[in-house]
Amino acid sequence: MGFSIHDQLPEDDPRQPTWKEQRLDYGFDDTELWNLDNVFAKFIYPRLIRFRYITESIPSSLNEKEWDTILSKMTYSFGVLKGDRIYFEEEEEKKIKEGLELFSKYYFDLWM
């Protein structure tokens, strides 16, 4: 599944042949880079949900409930960020940042 938006743009857009060639050469085209943060969130969000559902690995410094809470906060952040909004209320932005910071902190613990 790609995250290109080329198909949402006019077929006669002069960049369409370039994007097609990029997809063949790289597996993606430049339209995925226009909102790369959104593309990352769309990729990560469903995988975090699945990971949270099936993982049995828990960082040694945490218990199961703490790990589930952390995964929940991460999932929340990417769930919000995968949408089209660019502005957030202050409290919501704090929750998003907390989830992203936890994602960074526990990045190397996201394995099965």
Question: How many Cβ atoms from other residues are within 10 Å of residue 52's Cβ?
Answer: 16
Percent of the chain clearing pLDDT 70 (strictly above): 99
What pLDDT, on a 0 to 100 scale, did the predictor assign at position 16?
96
Contacts with 52 (C-beta within 8 Å, 6 or more apart), sequence order: 68, 71, 72, 75
64-111 pLDDT per residue, tens = 999 999 999 999 999 999 998 889 999 999 999 999 999 999 999 999
* Domains in the chain: boundaries: 36-109
Q: By the 8 A CB rule, do 43 and 2 touch?
A: no
Q: By the 8 A CB rule, do 34 and 5 touch?
A: yes
What is the torsional sign of CA 98, 89, 87, 76? positive
Q: Can you list the pairs that 64-73 forms with residues at least 24 positions away whose Cβ atoms lie under 8 Å?
A: 70/102, 70/106, 73/98, 73/99, 73/102
